[in-house]
């Protein structure tokens, strides 16, 4: 696995991105040319990066902020609204989204994801982040039940 990110001035309100390449084989190039999955947390990012997605790729959007979805095949879950209402911490929306992403893609096991997140969050926020992951997993389960 390798990860790259683009967080220039656009990270303060524009379209920023982070790319994660996961492979069982050696990774020769650290950037995703045609991603299999795109998680868009806001409209600007969805608009900027949707056309990079493979034609049969999975688009997952935070429906709290992404109102114009460019495909009918998108998975729309209100990650920020869930973080706001269930966790009382809007800043946990990214971890809610991560939980949903893991369940929907099966790219990593849920137990491995939880261990990785809990090992990297600031001390004292472990319980919040665990609840955020669980909220995302539950939201994805509810989404798949409805489709």
pLDDT at 21: 80
User: Per residue in 72-124, pLDDT tens?
Assistant: 999 999 999 999 999 999 999 999 999 999 999 999 999 999 999 999 999 99
CA angle 102, 88, 130 (to 5 degrees): 35
The residues facing 37 across adjacent strands are: 58
The label of the residue with tokens 């090992």 reads 119
- Residue 85 in any domain: the answer is yes
- Residue 17 in any domain: the answer is no
The two tokens of residue 109 are: 């096991």
DSSP element (H, E) containing 146: helix 126-146
40: exposed, middle or buried (C-beta count within 10 Å: 0-12, 13-18, 19+)? buried
8-state DSSP, 16: -
Q: What's the CATH number where 111 sits?
A: 3.40.920.10
Residue 27 predicted with pLDDT over 80 = yes
- Mean pLDDT confidence for 131-145: 97
Instruction: Give Dmax over CA atoms of the chain in angstroms.
Output: 42
- Residue 12 in any domain: the answer is no
Residue 29 predicted with pLDDT over 90 = no
Q: Which domain holds residue 101?
A: 34-146
Closest C-alpha among 97, 99, 104 to residue 116? 99
- Residue 5 in any domain: the answer is no
- Residue 26 in any domain: the answer is no
- Residue 13 in any domain: the answer is no
Confidence grade of residue 7 (pLDDT, cut at 50, 70, 90): low
User: Per residue in 52-69, pLDDT tens?
Assistant: 999 999 999 999 999 999
Calculate the dihedral angle through the C-alpha atoms of 73, 18, 117, 67, rounding to the nearest 10 degrees: -40
- Residue 103 in any domain: the answer is yes
Domain count, the chain: 1
Judged by DSSP in three states, 147 sits in: coil
- Residue 57 in any domain: the answer is yes
Spatial distance between the Cα atoms of 96 and 101, rounded to a whole number of angstroms: 9
């Amino acid at each position: 696995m390798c990860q790259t990110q683009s967080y220039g001035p656009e990270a303060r309100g524009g379209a920023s991105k982070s790319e994660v390449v996961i492979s069982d084989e050696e990774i020769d190039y650290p950037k995703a040319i045609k991603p299999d999955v795109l998680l868009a947390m806001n409209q600007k990012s969805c608009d900027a990066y949707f056309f990079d997605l493979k034609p049969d790729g999975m688009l997952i959007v935070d429906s709290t902020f992404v109102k114009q979805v460019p495909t009918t095949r998108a998975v729309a879950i209100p990650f920020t609204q869930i973080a706001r209402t269930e966790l009382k911490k809007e800043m946990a929306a990214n971890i809610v989204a991560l939980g949903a992403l893991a369940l929907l893609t099966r790219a990593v096991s849920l137990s491995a994801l939880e261990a990785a997140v809990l090992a990297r969050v600031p001390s004292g926020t472990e319980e919040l982040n665990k609840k955020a992951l669980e909220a995302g997993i539950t939201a994805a389960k509810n989404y798949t039940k409805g489709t």
